[in-house]
Amino acid sequence: MDILFLVGRLIFGGYFLMNAWNHFKNSEGLTIYAASKGVPEPKMAVFLGGILLLLGGLGIVFGIVPEASLALLIIFLVPVSLKMHAFWKEPDPNARMMEKVQFMKNMALVGALLMLYAVSVPWVYNMLQ
């Protein structure tokens, strides 16, 4: 079962690393999008979001300081979900549906991160072993 946990960590952490890369690679477009949603200091918010995703993803992949890594990702996901994917504010049914999908996906990720808190540390196959 240890190997399944490692494979799951690689996939799960890799998801956040890919999102971090997207934040840095497409920062201009994400900044415009964040500004359109009323995010204060959108350029800085996108950059900090990328940092949280990067550090959290690396922590999961390598099993280093898992509690802090999980917290960073939750700190990213909850406000982003509430500000960027506020489906309840969307008047257009199609836009509402798309935002609801993103919001619910983020809440599922938060749920998975919370479940990982229940896994005893240190995690197996961590880089500190």
Q: How confident is the model at residue 12 (pLDDT cuts 50, 70, 90)?
A: very high
Write down the pLDDT at residue 128: 78
Please report, rounded to a whole number, the percentage of residues in the chain having pLDDT higher than 90.
92
| Gyration radius from the chain CA atoms | 16
Query: Does the structure show a pLDDT above 90 at 129?
Result: no
For the record, the structure tokens of 86 come out as 């506020």
Q: How confident is the model at residue 127 (pLDDT cuts 50, 70, 90)?
A: confident
The residue extents of the domains of the chain are 2-117
Write down the pLDDT at residue 37: 95
Q: How confident is the model at residue 100 (pLDDT cuts 50, 70, 90)?
A: very high
Give me the amino acid identity at 6.
L
What would the pLDDT profile of 52-85 be if each residue is shown by its tens digit? 999 999 999 999 999 999 999 999 999 999 999 9
Alpha helix segments (H runs only) across the chain: 2-25, 27-36, 42-62, 66-84, 93-117
Q: What is the mean pLDDT of residues 16-38?
A: 98
Q: How confident is the model at residue 90 (pLDDT cuts 50, 70, 90)?
A: very high
Write down the pLDDT at residue 23: 97
Residues 6 or more apart whose Cβ sits within 8 Å of residue 75: 52
- Predicted TM-score (pTM) of the model is 0.94
